[in-house]
Amino acid sequence: MKKKIIGIIQARVNSTRLEKKMLLPIGNHTLIEWVIKRIKKTKRLNEIILATTKKNEDNILIDISKKNKIKAYRGSSNNVLSRFYNTNKIFKGDLIVRICADNPFIDPLIIDSLIFKFNHNKYEYANNAFSLFNSNYPDGFGAEIFTFKTLNKLSKIVIKKKHKEHLTSYILENKKKFKIQKIKAPKNISYPNLKFDIDTYEDYEKIYNIVKKYNIMLNTKSHEIINFVKKNDVFNR
């Protein structure tokens, strides 16, 4: 039977380190719109859901999801694990791709590659969002993937608040308890020193400026972005 693959975009307006970063403008779109519009170009996701909170401040994210014709779920503000678990109870994914909303250059080709390479019959988790196990992926183009069974397992064994807030942190801190597939970055994007996610205002300024300088568009591929910036020391970790 064919597996249902869903992409869950984790987002909320009230970010601790950079307030309202989801709504910050980058070129002609806000940060969250970059993520949604680029993810919609994937070929292997059956459904895309924006998972946000029940807080009034996140009403605007629901409006954005409707505008971009993707579904949404509202759950816990701090317990991201329960938000994902309850999202999946509704949308019933066999495989879940976790998409972080602070990655404006997330690449649909890299997401599709992750889904294609993930051996869900043998492994519980894989990642090409950053350089895990010296995979050499840059930070900000990819995502994480895991099975429904993995999410269910986490919902039963996770106790600490930090692991509920940071969804896959328990897996990464307890690697021996999970079957983790190691995926190596292709040579043309093998630059683990480069960081393209937005955590701080400094990160935002870097992304804003390169979009303007190099005319980066919604369809610009990850290796093209790397070629623009790899000689620019400001992007090294």
**Structural domains for the chain:** 5-235 (3.90.550.10)
- Amino acid (one-letter) located at 204: Y
- Predicted TM-score (pTM) of the model is 0.95
Asked if residue 79 has pLDDT above 90, the reply is yes
Q: Quick one: which H or E segment has residue 35?
A: helix 31-39
Q: Quick: pLDDT tens for 82-121.
A: 999 999 999 999 999 999 999 999 999 999 999 999 999 9
State how far Cα 16 lies from the chain centre. Answer: 18
Degrees to nearest 5, angle at CA 146 with 141 and 147? 150
Q: Quick: pLDDT tens for 176-218.
A: 999 999 999 999 999 999 999 999 999 999 999 999 999 999 9
Predicted pLDDT at 236: 62
Q: Quick: pLDDT tens for 147-186.
A: 999 999 999 999 999 999 999 999 999 999 999 999 999 9
Across the chain, mean pLDDT equals 94
Q: What is the band of 233 on the pLDDT scale with cuts at 50, 70, 90?
A: low
| DSSP sequence for 145-204 | EEEHHHHHHHHHH--SHHHHHSTTHHHHH-GGGS-EE--PPPGGG--TTBB----SHHHH
Predicted pLDDT at 16: 78
- The DSSP call for residue 71 is E
Average pLDDT estimate for 55-73: 97
